[in-house]
């Protein structure tokens, strides 16, 4: 359940900091990637060298890592992580978290965190029992954070053993249970009853009976998205340009088209009855003004083909979009990626855009892998290079969140 999960581990100034090494070991053993963020007081108890040896990553501690102006981005960490675990968490850090006192890298990272946060408090009994600490913990719970504490604290004296950090294996087991629950929900049929339109593949724009203007799109990404939606319970209409692959799930209805105009007609007919559309096709922006009835002969030294603009399917659906409908586009860019993606988001009235950069070698066209960023009006999430099926899972997770 923790395989491939990205965990930010926050370590604070407690004697229990040495136990963080055991937490890292357990997380890494289960295939998780761990990035340590440590407070200045934490470094008094355990050295960054030990921690970076265990995690195989430099430890983040200061806002500025070098004296050359390079700074550590808490915002990037907040977007990178699947979870943040603060263990051990002192009374001081609990207080700063509850009140937004962002005077170190750990608190700024916590405040930027988009993923769930787990906190394992560690302090002596008096500090733990103080109403301030108790109230701060209640506030943190109220903000949706998970507080992980030993279960058997209330012995004869009432609070005996309380404040002690939960054992590393139990903390890791807690995370494991959390992710098992989350993936069970994700894998459940969360798109049951939804109708989704997907465009995929290239378009062929005819020049004459034997020639066309096309592109290298294989359709693999669009087909992977269709399979993922259908697997999660949706009914999919897959409007596909010419490709050599086939859809297998019975809930996918394929509408085969060739040109942009055909794709436009099929997509605009289906969209009003759909909750979402994902526009994954690599559509030709222009087509020959005239299609020759006969094969064009080689005459003369040069040849011109006059092109006229094709309809923009995405932009058109963006205009048709009703409240509650979700529209997802793709952008393939070679330069000024973010800026161009934001421009397309607005121009086509999309809810989010999946950005592919041709800078990432071995991804995109014809490849089985893809490396994407998801850009919306609220921010950007960068993903690692993955097989297209896994990328489809990430994209449909984002779509599912927006449909519900």
Cβ of 401: how many Cβ atoms within 10 Å? Answer: 10
CB of 343 to ligand CTP, least distance (A): 9
DSSP-derived secondary structure letter, 273: G
C-alpha 234/C-alpha 400 separation (Å) is: 11
| Nearest to ligand CTP of 42, 318 (CB atom) | 318
CB of 332 to ligand CTP, least distance (A): 5
Distances (CA, A) of 343 to 68, 199, 375: 33, 21, 11
Under rule CB under 6 A, residue 260 binds ligand CTP: yes
Exposure class string for 313-337: b at 16+ Cβ within 10 A, else e: bbebbbeebeeebbbbbbbbbeeeb
Q: Minimum distance between the CB of residue 328 and ligand CTP, rounded to whole angstroms?
A: 8
CA distances from 118 to 56, 122, 146, 166, 396 (A): 22, 13, 5, 12, 26
CA distances (Å), 377 to each of 41, 325, 351, in order?
37, 16, 8
Task: For the CB of residue 58, give the shortest distance to ligand CTP in the complex, in Å.
Answer: 36
Minimum Å gap between C-beta 263 and ligand CTP is 8
Could you say whether residue 346 binds ligand CTP (CB under 6 A)? Answer: no
Residue with smaller CB distance to ligand CTP, 90 or 310: 310
Return the residues of window 160-219 that contact ligand CTP according to CB under 6 A. 199
Of the candidates 24, 77, 117, 281, which one interacts with ligand CTP according to CB under 6 A?
281
The 3-state DSSP class for residue 333 equals strand
Per the listing, tokens 């109220």 go with 142
The count of chain residues that interact with ligand CTP, using the rule CB under 6 A, is: 15
Contact stretch for ligand CTP (CB under 6 A) within 34-42, 46-54, 135-143, 277-285 = 277-285
370 beta partners: 386
Contact 236, 277 (CB under 8 A): no
Contact window for ligand CTP (CB under 6 A) among 19-27, 63-71, 116-124, 305-313: 305-313
Kindly identify the residues of this chain, within the stretch 282-301, that bind ligand CTP according to CB under 6 A. 283, 285
Q: Find the binder of ligand CTP among 176, 208, 262, 312 (CB under 6 A).
A: 312
Q: Is 313 in the site for ligand CTP (CB under 6 A)?
A: yes
Query: Which DSSP category does 71 fall into?
Result: B
What is the closest distance, in whole angstroms, from the C-beta atom of residue 274 to ligand CTP in the complex?
A: 15
Residue 91 neighbours by CB under 8 Å, 6+ apart: 121, 123, 127, 128, 130, 132, 133, 136
Which of 172, 260 has the CB closer to ligand CTP? 260
H or E element that contains 200: strand 195-200
Contact between 54 and ligand CTP by CB under 6 A: the answer reads no
Minimum gap (Å) between residue 368 Cβ and ligand CTP: 20
109 or 325: whose CB is closer to ligand CTP? 325
Give the active site residue among 215, 340, 349, 360. Answer: 215
Nearest partner of 85 among 19, 160, 41, judged by Cα: 19
Which among 224-232, 300-308, 310-318, 371-379 is the span making contact with ligand CTP, rule CB under 6 A? 310-318
Burial zone of 275 (CB within 10 Å; 0-12 exposed, 13-18 middle, 19+ buried): middle
Among 310, 356, 373, 400, binds ligand CTP (CB under 6 A): 310
259 binds ligand CTP (CB under 6 A): no
Structure tokens at 374: 């998801």
Please confirm, yes or no, whether 215 is among the known catalytic residues: yes
- First vs last C-alpha separation in the chain: 24
Residues serving a catalytic function are 215
Binding site for ligand CTP (CB under 6 A): 199, 260, 279, 281, 283, 285, 310, 312-314, 329-332, 344
């Amino acid at each position: 359940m923790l395989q491939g999960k990205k965990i930010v581990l926050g370590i604070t100034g407690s004697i229990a900091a040495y136990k963080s090494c055991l937490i890292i070991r357990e997380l890494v053993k289960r295939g998780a990637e761990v990035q340590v963020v440590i407070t200045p007081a934490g470094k008094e108890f355990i050295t960054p060298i030990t921690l970076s040896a265990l995690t195989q990553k430099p430890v983040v501690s200061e806002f500025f890592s070098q004296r050359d102006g390079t700074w550590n981005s808490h915002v990037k960490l907040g977007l990178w992580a699947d979870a943040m675990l603060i263990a051990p968490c002192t009374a001081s850090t609990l207080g700063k978290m509850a009140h937004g006192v962002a005077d170190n890298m750990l608190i700024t990272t916590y405040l930027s965190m988009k993923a769930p946060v787990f906190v394992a408090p560690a302090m002596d009994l008096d500090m733990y029992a103080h109403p301030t600490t108790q109230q701060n913990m209640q506030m943190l719970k109220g903000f949706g954070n998970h507080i992980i504490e030993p279960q058997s604290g209330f012995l004869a004296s009432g609070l005996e053993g309380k404040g002690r950090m939960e054992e590393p294996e139990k903390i890791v087991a807690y995370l494991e249970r959390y992710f098992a629950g989350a993936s069970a929900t994700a894998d459940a049929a969360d798109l049951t009853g939804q109708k989704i339109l997907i465009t995929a593949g290239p378009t062929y724009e005819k020049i004459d009976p034997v020639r066309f203007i096309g592109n290298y799109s294989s359709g693999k990404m669009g087909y992977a998205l269709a399979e993922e939606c259908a697997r999660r319970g949706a009914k999919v209409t897959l409007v596909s340009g010419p490709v050599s692959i086939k859809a297998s799930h019975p809930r996918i209805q394929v509408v085969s088209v060739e040109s942009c105009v055909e794709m436009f007609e099929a997509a605009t007919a289906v969209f009003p009855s759909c909750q979402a559309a994902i526009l994954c096709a690599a559509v030709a922006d222009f087509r020959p003004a005239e299609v020759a009835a006969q094969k064009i002969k080689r005459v003369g030294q040069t040849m011109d083909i006059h092109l006229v603009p094709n309809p923009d399917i995405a932009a058109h659906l963006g205009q048709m979009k009703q409240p509650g409908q979700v529209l997802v586009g793709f952008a393939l860019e070679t330069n000024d990626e973010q800026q161009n993606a934001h421009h397309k988001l607005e121009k086509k009235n999309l809810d989010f855009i999946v950005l592919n950069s041709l800078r990432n070698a071995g991804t995109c066209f014809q490849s089985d892998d893809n490396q994407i960023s998801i850009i919306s009006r609220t921010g950007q999430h960068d993903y690692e290079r993955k097989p297209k099926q896994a990328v489809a899972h990430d994209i449909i997770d984002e779509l599912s969140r927006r449909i519900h």
